[in-house]
Structure 1
Amino acid sequence: MSAITNEYLRNESIASQPWPSKAFLYQPYEENQILLAENASCLAVRTYLTMLKLPFVVKQQANAEFMSPGGKRTKLPVLRVENYIYAEFEHILNFVELKGFSLSKNLTQAEKDDMRAHLCLVENFFTNAEQYISWVDEEVLTKITRQRHGCVYPFPLNHIQNWRKQWAVRRQLKIVDFLNLSLDELVEKVDKLCLSLSARLDNKLYFYGDNPTELDALVFGHLFSIFTLKLPNDVLAVTINKYRNLRQFCENIEAKYFETVVPPKRA
């Protein structure tokens, strides 16, 4: 049987099964482990599933980053729905849509294409900026990142795991031309993206009108995490805070979909 046939049958099987009463979303511990980019991604998926009114249970685990079927380091969060396991926002979104759930089904095709392009831009850009702050900015790296990332490992494994993670993140940032940016250059890029998002949102409740889409969940996850995760260098929060409608956007979603979103405490 060909790979294409296998993939078709697998997708058909996914689509035919109802959403279970319990799905599990795995993420690192919020109190003392999770970092900025991870928190943003996990919150984005939680917001997305909440907007769709799909039941799920958040499971905080020290090894959430290594829960891929192959046992390798994976992007967060990790969603397990019965025998299916998916990680990170994009793949979880595709899985959920295979099961027939979508926030953007009422958009025009042009709007859907526009939203998909913005999903890619927002996810990649904010994630790289958040990783830069966590793993390149020396003050944040020294005072926050190493303690939080290494806290679940015994000595000297904590230092080894920190080094491995730092090396992997910096390699990725180098590939996307973020590693050699100065902090001022990074802030300028973030400011341009926020200006674009602010203009697109304008005075609307959500980016495409009165109802939320996947883009709203993703942007909220990143912006709210940046606003609430306390760091010694809060340059990203200061930059975003200039845009009043983006602040209000976050407040509206928090009030409607979460009784409270408790930010991780500072290590």
Structure 2
Amino acid sequence: MAWFCSLPVWKGDWDLPSVDPSCLAALAYCRFSGVPVKLKKIGNPWRSPSGELPIMRHKKVTETKVTEIFSYLRKQNYGCDFNLSNKQSADAIAFSSMLEEKLLPAILHLWWVDNKTYSDFTRPWYAKVLPFPLNFFIPDQIQKKASMRVTLTKGGSNVTDSELEAKIYKEAKECMNYLAYRLGKQDYFFGNAPSSLDALVFGYLAPILKAPLPNNQLQNHLKMCDNLCSLCNNILQRYLPPDPEEVEKKKAEEKSKPQSTTEYSDFPHRRRNMILAAIFALSAMAGYALLSGLIHLQITDSDEDNDLKNPHGYIQNEEDNEEYEDGRED
């Protein structure tokens, strides 16, 4: 088959093709639109231009934001909204904005800001799929970014952490109620065929529904919205069924697992690995500063020519900003 584009996404779990909302939305949209996509399930966002997944690559074009991926595919005549009326298209845009404003902050809080969930579930999962030594600092970077986004969009100088949490989850549950009301008894939001809105809603809700998070109040509320649960399950069954090879591989891994579970905090040689990771991170930062010209090396003769300095006494790699070649990772 001739692939139209490649789509590296976060790896999946819990019967999901990916655990990330944006990756799930991009996957669903490609399936709805019939895009011949070469899917790559990875655990390393290091080479992404934005440091995030998914990454859509087509020829010399690289997109990492879901809305831009949708837009680019539509321009290439791949889309699932062509049959929507003007009013339906406007509704899709309005609901998409509501999802980002009302539901996304709660998802970020649940996965990354809640201390118990992050330490007991989120960080161990990402530490397992990320390669060494990235598994020691990438989860913390994602957590800081998520926490900052939640605080900036929903917090305030006079808002306590408990008030912020209550506000976020209240708005998320109201958003789910409104989505359930809008969906009604239909298979999809705009009738019998899925749209970009269905892809986005699936991306947000499927991890809430499937991930075994501790104290998941969003999951408890979602399960009371039967039609939203049916939407997620139907999309998984019709468009994103599990790969038989992955199912067999997972079964084999489960059988080969030792009886005692290995948590992130119990990794063997953890102290040594942390030291090595710190050295790697410092070396990477120093190398980047050196190559980008932030650090200038000057060579002088300390004994005879203290007043003469080499104006070219620094090293700068002019190819640092060279665009990442399309498909190199493939």
Q: Same fold (TM over 0.5)?
A: yes
User: In structure 2, what is the equivalent of residue 185 of structure 1?
Assistant: 167
Contact 2:112/2:147 (8 A) holds in 1: yes
User: One-letter code of the match for 1:217?
Assistant: A
State whether structure 2 residue 32 is matched by structure 1 residue 51.
Answer: yes
Aligned counterparts of 1:29 and 1:255: Cα–Cα separation in 2: 18
Q: Does 2:96 match 1:119?
A: yes
Any idea what the Cα deviations from partners look like across 1:175-219, whole Å, max 9, x if unmatched?
A: 111594454433321210011101111111111112111001111
Residues matched between the structures, number:
241
Residue ranges of structure 2 left out of the alignment (5+ in a row) = 255-260, 264-330
Give the conservation status (yes or no) of the 8 Å contact 1:27–1:58.
yes
Q: Which residue of 2 aligns with 1:42?
A: 23
| 1:38-187 matched pairs, under 5 angstroms | 39-64=20-45, 66-68=47-49, 72-74=50-52, 76-151=53-128, 152-154=130-132, 158-177=135-154, 180=161, 181-187=163-169
Structure 2 distance, partners of 1:42, 1:260, is 16
- Per-residue deviation at 1:253? 2.0
1:27 is displaced (CA, Å) by: 1.8
**Distance between the aligned counterparts of 1:125 and 1:56, measured in 2?**
31
Q: Which amino acid counterpart does residue 67 of structure 1 have in structure 2? A: S
Report how far residue 92 of structure 1 moved: 0.3
Question: Which residue of structure 2 lines up, in the alignment, with residue 6 of structure 1?
Answer: none
**Counterpart of 1:64 in 2: which secondary structure?**
coil
Structure 1 pair 163–212 and aligned structure 2 pair: CA distance change class (3 A): closer
Give the number of the structure whose alpha-carbon radius of gyration is greater: 2
Task: Write the distance in 2 (CA, Å) between the matches of 1:256 and 1:170.
Answer: 35
Check the 8 A contact 2:23/2:54 in 1, yes or no.
yes
Q: Distance in 2 between matches of 1:178 and 1:145?
A: 23
Task: Name the residue aligned to 1:203.
Answer: 185
Amino acid at match of 2:6: F
Q: CA deviation at 1:243?
A: 0.8
Partners of 1:214 and 1:31 lie apart in 2 by: 23
Partners of 2:5 and 2:37 within 8 A in 1: yes
TM-score when normalising by structure 1: 0.79
Q: Give the share of equivalent positions with the same residue, in percent.
A: 22
C-alpha distance in 2, partners of 1:166/1:51? 31
Measured on the aligned residues, the alpha-carbon RMSD in Å equals: 3.0
- 1:248 aligned partner: 230
Structure 1: gaps (5+ residues): 1-19
- Shift of the 175–207 alpha-carbon distance from structure 1 to 2, 3 Å rule, reads same
With a CA cutoff of 8 Å and minimum separation of 6, indicate the structure with the bigger relative contact order. 1
TM-score (norm 2): 0.65
Q: CA deviation at 1:22?
A: 4.4
Match for 1:194: what amino acid? M
* CA distance 1:210–1:161, shift in 2 (3 Å): closer
Q: 1:82 to 1:189 in 2, by over 3 A?
A: same
